Amino acid sequence: MLSNYLFYISPIAAFITFLASLTRPAPDEPWLKVFSAFLFINFLLDSTLDFMAMHNFNNVLFGNLVDMFVFSFYLYLVRRIVQGRKAKYVFRYFQIFYICASVINLFLVQKTVAFNTMTYCFGCLLIVSSCIYYFWELFQLRSSVNLLRQPSFWICSGLLFFYACSFPMQGLLNFINAMPKLIIQNLLIIFILLNSFLYLSFTIAFLCRLKTRKSM
């Protein structure tokens, strides 16, 4: 069935992005090395989630824990990218507050039997606002930079687009599950396309500074 093949797309895209992260020699941004390790872990988590979904295993709890880990890392990543000291402190508190709110929601509010839409939406708002601040910092620069050659630009662009678009879809996921199967499958395709675009932006982030040889 087509729906079964859809589950292979995200893990394949995640693995390609991880391979791209290995091609960039001696990055001058140390956080890119941490990002590369995260991409490999994320590939394993994505593969496990999709395997469980494809074989009709209950992956709600595991999915909630994965989202908590992914959101926390992306908040850490943007905190490493931005330059302002005050912003770094604020984003650190964002990360701590998000983890605490996620644990409370996981065990006391929506609990482990349902997808934690509340903390997912909260995480989306934090990441989107953090990326917007990054772009605000870019506008404040006194010297011009080639954004197409900046890994941070591609990373924050991908995060901003993905979480701004997935916010309404994932926020209503518990209600969408009651819709007809055809609608659910179409929404799944849209989400996978968004996820693929996110990994594409990450891939470009690692490849954008590679020097290409010009043919004579």
Do the domain assignments include residue 144? yes
> Which residue type occupies 95?
Q
11 touches 47 (CB < 8 A): yes
Both tokens of 128, joined, read: 């989107």
DSSP secondary structure string, 49-67? HHHHHHTT---HHHHHHHH
- Per-residue confidence band for 213, with pLDDT thresholds at 50, 70 and 90: very low
Both tokens of 42, joined, read: 């994320």
Do the domain assignments include residue 46? yes
Do the domain assignments include residue 29? yes
DSSP secondary structure string, 120-157? HHHHHHHHHHHHHHHHHHHHH-SS---GGG-HHHHHHH
- The separation between CA 86 and the C-alpha centre of its own chain, rounded to angstroms, equals 24
Both tokens of 55, joined, read: 């074989």
Distance (Å, whole) CA 124 – CA 115: 15
Query: How many other β-carbons are positioned within 10 Å of the β-carbon of residue 83?
Result: 12
Confidence at residue 211, expressed as pLDDT on a 0 to 100 scale = 61
Do the domain assignments include residue 176? yes
The string of pLDDT tens digits covering residues 108-151 is 888 877 888 888 899 999 999 999 999 999 888 877 777 888 88
Do the domain assignments include residue 214? no
Domain count, the chain: 1
| Total residue length of the chain | 216
- The separation between CA 147 and the C-alpha centre of its own chain, rounded to angstroms, equals 20
Computed over every residue of the chain, the mean pLDDT equals 83
Measured between alpha carbons, how far is residue 27 from residues 22, 42, 210 in Å?
A: 10, 21, 10
Do the domain assignments include residue 213? no
Query: How many other β-carbons are positioned within 10 Å of the β-carbon of residue 170?
Result: 21
pTM for the model stands at: 0.88
Mean pLDDT (whole number) for 183-209: 85
Do the domain assignments include residue 216? no
Measured between alpha carbons, how far is residue 5 from residues 12, 188, 195 in Å?
A: 11, 12, 15
Do the domain assignments include residue 215? no
Range of the domain at 136: 2-207
- Per-residue confidence band for 160, with pLDDT thresholds at 50, 70 and 90: very high
